[in-house]
Structure 1
Amino acid sequence: MKVRRSRLLALAAAVLTVAAGGLGVATAQAAAPACGVDYRITSQWSGGFGADVVVTNFGDAVTGWTVGWRLASGQGVTQAWNATVTVTGTAVTATNMSYNGAVGTGALVSFGFTGSWSGSNPVPSSFTFNGTTCVGPPGATPTAPTPSPTAPSPTSTPSPEPTPCTGPSTPPVSPSTSPTPAPITVWMAGDSTMMNASSCPIGWGSQFASYLTSNVTVRNSAVGGRSIQTWLYEGNVTTTKNSAGECVLSSTAYSARWAAMLDAGSGFTGGDYLIIQFGINDGDSACPRHVGGNRFKELLGVMATAAKARGVKPIFVTPVAAITCSGGTAVGNRGFVTETTAAAAANGVPVIDLHAKSVALYNTLRLCPNNGDYSTGAVGAFFCNDHTHFEAAGARQIAGLVATALRAQNIPLAAYLR
């Protein structure tokens, strides 16, 4: 983007060249910014990429925001989260959602998107925040800019060109002194689609901490291949079914992972949260993983009751979908969705329908149709070389669905989101 008015601030543009599959960061810098932007390419593949944008407000507090930049030739935006993004020609406008419009002095706001590219995928050279040009990396110590005598009044018609950051007439005040939420732990119980890992398969739980403030410690105890019953009673679920068709327990002693959460000294503490996602392996017809619908709901209730008794707030999550295409449309493919929702209602627990949200995301990203090759393109960047597990970029977006749902559903854990 070229700046043609002499009164505009000079920008130092950083251009990022990313090798296929690489990551990068770019920031534009100047001496006296009123806003700053960190544009980070989180993943890239042939013809597509994912990016996170973090804006720091060095000026006065705002109750709504718009971030603007221009696309290079061949670039496009396909899907966004934590912002409403529109594209007119090469001009991109990202506008706040209902839950993240307020940004105090010195505070950050972030959103992400997936895009398309051809030829090259350069980083934008400049951004605007509510009409002012953003310069300087987030977290930089700002100096008080000198007010510009030509700055438009609040009722002026915005110029089609970005206007310079003039800043407040006095040095920025300290951010709002609203109470800081007390430190908590978010505990997680689930299967391989949630578990921690550094390479495929990467569970969305391993990416969830990036959406939370430093006041939160994430303890992810999700384990691959587990049903809710084998997770709770590891080693005590036999291969024999009883007359009701359920796997027989040789002992009701809990697994070490659940016992650790229940430990009065080092486990759950009042005010913590417990996020539970099962239902992917539970549909196995054979023991020990097999769990019937009623037993599944019963065990969710056992976990919720134990958590509540210790002052912990449980959250149920329906099983995240694999990628299954019906022609050009992604469709649902998991069981235990209605059972999870029913157990949530029976136990007074909030539920996030990650199954429905993930299917909707796959359709937004146009991951269908595909030929079953999960090693290339947008599908390959999202999934491991199967139809179920995630690469880091996919896991991060699934975690983002959960974070967005916390805000949208007014689940109190949302107070700890960045």
Structure 2
Amino acid sequence: MRTLSLTTLVVVVSIAAQSTRAHEEQQTEEQVRREQLRISVQAICPISGEELGSMGDPIKVAAGATKEEIYLCCEACTTGKINPKLWAKIHRNIAAAQSNCPVTKKALPRKPKSTVVEGQVIYVGRSASIKEVEANPEKALSQVDDYYIAYLKQNQEKEKQDRPASQHSQHDHATTTNDDHGDSVKGPHGGTVQTVGSHTIETVIVPKGIMFMLLDEEGKVLATPKASGALTLRVDDNSKEYPYELKPLKNSAIGVGVDLSKIIGRTIHMDVTLDGIAAQPVSFHAMGTVTDDTLADAVLISLQRTCPVSGKKLGSMGSPPKIMVDGKPLFVCCAGCSEKVKNSPQQYLAKYYEQKGEQVRPGVFKATLADAQAIAAQKVCPVMDEPLGGMGAPLKVDVKGQAVYICCAGCAKKLHAEPDVYLAKLKKLGVKPPSIE
């Protein structure tokens, strides 16, 4: 675990780090459960502000003289500085989740006292309680775990209650509209999910067109062979409208093929009406940004892994600078290495884009930058329906001579057990896996 020095709430990372996943096998079930609770309660990275888990497994580090353990969203943040506002917000989250003193069982005061035991900050109602916590830390930690569980369950129940309420308000209307995009949810196919009446619809925008997918409770696409519809599109704040007819697609979506490559990065507004999915037409508003099929930098960095010049792990010296070579991204550990790559770009490009991944077990390989295009095309893990790259660098699996990418090692067994099921699933999504070389 890394040790952080703390000065006026500015944390600078040094020494060596561990990810929570790397040590799960060496931990007891209780320790793993406790770490997951703490990650859920902390919620955000104190350096980037990103949601923990959104960039792979959080990294545990120790801060300041008290050695308080906190979690960072990614390796790049281990060389960053903590944002004082985020630091304060995290501790407000922790205090709110704990809510009660583990000694007196009474509600915490507005300005509670605190101590750190076994790396975890614990809030108490009065200074005298600190001695009791330190004398019997496991008892206090167990009590705090119970408070955390109750807090997280309460939040989950609130979300469930809020969701049906918004559905019910539109339930009896033949035509419904949903204009709330503040809490947009990422869908299993990389789009945005919204609830329209009793329907869950995922909007997927790609440079070649727009698709709308009707999802069941498990996030699977419902077949709508008789569906049709109409779409009116506007770009950014432009008042000009572009009408399109929507038709059923081979992947069970409803959509239209249209060239959006010239408006990459711009926001489009869509007024949509779908026929044939309910007794009455279903109308709603959707919006999104046109993105290309390239992978996020965080995923590309996880595939490249090391600096082509120094050989150091990317992120070990801060956020890796990005260099474009013949339209392909390449990352270096620091600005000093950038010039060397620019002077001999093809030498370094070939090193990573022609690299074959190491076999980690029979039929399972580490993915590299050479796989980036195929990963971007596949988008999601066929086993877990998770976006590729969301749980670290994807893995490549040889499935009947075809390269199928998965989100984590745990999915390889299921993929090998039922290869035809998952190949058919990819085909339904319009994905054709490339041949294994």
Which fold has the larger relative contact order, with Cα–Cα distance below 8 Å and residues 6 or more apart in sequence?
A: 1
Higher helix share: 2
TM-score, length basis structure 2: 0.29
TM-score, length basis structure 1: 0.30
